[in-house]
Structure 1
Amino acid sequence: MSFPVAQWPDLPASLIAEVKAFVRIDHDADDDAIAAFLRSAAGLCEDFTGLMLIARSVTDVLPAWQAWQKLKRLPVQAIVSVEAVEADGSAALLAVDDYAIDIDSEGLGWVRMREESDASRIRIVYSCGLAADWDQLPAGLRQGIVRLAGYLYANRDGVDIGGPPSAVTALWRPYRRMRIA
């Protein structure tokens, strides 16, 4: 469920430096490769935990129902707008009285139409993520990302000494949101 790599916020030099210190390299020749491994590790962290790490704008399209519907990403920080989407794809911003929204204590976002609508779908734009930037990530998540990126860098030639370090999942597990499909 992670976003494409191109949509990740820029990586700070300090995060790349952490991976370089972890794998004990002192040159800059592989900084681009390390940045790619960091993005992969962060995406895997999001998939494992079920949480978006860095705050970004998200758009969901849901049926225009009167029943409460859960937004797909979490933790939701703010619901920015709700639009009615017609069958031809055109959209119009809904008045605040036309829908209800809620963000619960666990960061789940909810939306519902107050009355029946001619629109078949609604488009919800919301802000979602644990931290505003990489430096504000919880230490366990950040350290797991650094360790996994270091592991991917050290094993980039296909030599695998038994799989990713179990410390990575141990660091991420307290943040994991279980999903039942």
Structure 2
Amino acid sequence: MLIEETPLDPAALPVQAFRAHLRLGTGFSQDDLQGPVLEAVLRAALAAIEARTAKILLARDFALSLPAWAEPCGQPLPLAPVTAVHELALRDAAGEERAAAADTWRLEADTHRPVLRAAGAALPAIPARGAAVIRFAAGFGAAWAEVPADLRQAVMLLAAHYYEYRDAASAGAEAMPAAVAGLIGPWRALRLGAGGAA
């Protein structure tokens, strides 16, 4: 189970840049009416691109709860880039938590697949009927300027698409325009499984 522990800061959203991208005028009496609409489509575009790429654009904190390790020596984290692991806690069947010693694990940073690695032979044992809780920070940065340029452009294009087709009559419009898919393609993680790459 993955939980977002800190909400996205509305001040970090590039509302003014998006307004300029749409070439909307300013100084009109309806400016304040457009603000919530622009923020809503930006949030939707940001969420869609984060979901497609498993990359967190604007920094937030998350908690991942696991009943078992994927591998005893390392647990892949579902999001990137991970900038810090704040804590590895072990929760028992009664719901009580205790922090695992910080010298028993380390973060192996990676653009696509960061891993919580064991410092020794194995990660700390998870209690029976309990869980491991990994609390970590992910994101390119707290400011919009810290997000890679191609991902910033993808958000703008997708948000503009959502803005243009926001009425119910356009519900069948293409969900992910080709230009956006092209921009985010290099950021999508390569998944290997029984069927090969996906």
TM-score (norm 1): 0.82
Corresponding residue for residue 152 of structure 1? 162
Deviations 1:83-124 (A, max 9, x none): 110101110122234x32231443503144555464632211
Residue range with higher mean Cα deviation, 137-146 or 125-134: 125-134
Corresponding residue for residue 196 of structure 2? none
Q: What CA distance in whole angstroms lies between the structure 1 residues aligned with 2:23 and 2:144? A: 22
Matched, 1:10 2:10: yes
Residues 165, 22 of structure 1: alpha-carbon distance in 2 compared, 3 angstrom cutoff: farther
Q: What CA distance in whole angstroms lies between the structure 2 residues aligned with 1:157 and 1:148? A: 15
Q: Is the 8 A contact 1:71 1:111 kept in 2?
A: no
- SS for the counterpart of 2:9 is coil
Corresponding residue for residue 106 of structure 2? 101
Structure 1 unaligned regions, length at least 5: none
Q: What CA distance in whole angstroms lies between the structure 2 residues aligned with 1:171 and 1:2? A: 26
Q: What CA distance in whole angstroms lies between the structure 1 residues aligned with 2:192 and 2:80? A: 15
Corresponding residue for residue 23 of structure 1? 22
- SS for the counterpart of 2:184 is helix
Deviation, 1:133, is 1.9
Corresponding residue for residue 133 of structure 1? 143
Residue range with higher mean Cα deviation, 162-171 or 37-46: 162-171
RMSD of aligned Cα (Å): 2.9
Corresponding residue for residue 172 of structure 1? 184
Q: Is the 8 A contact 1:2 1:44 kept in 2?
A: no
Q: Is the 8 A contact 1:74 1:128 kept in 2?
A: yes
Deviations 1:112-171 (A, max 9, x none): 455546463221111111223222111111111111111111111235495253211122
Q: How does 1:42-121 map to 2 (within 5 A)?
A: 42-63=46-67, 65=69, 66-97=72-103, 99-106=104-111, 108-112=114-118, 113-114=122-123, 116=125, 118=127, 120-121=130-131
Q: Is the 8 A contact 1:76 1:109 kept in 2?
A: no
Corresponding residue for residue 42 of structure 2? 38
Larger RCO: 1 or 2 (CA < 8 Å, sep 6+): 1
Structure 2 unaligned regions, length at least 5: 194-198
Residue range with higher mean Cα deviation, 105-114 or 83-92: 105-114
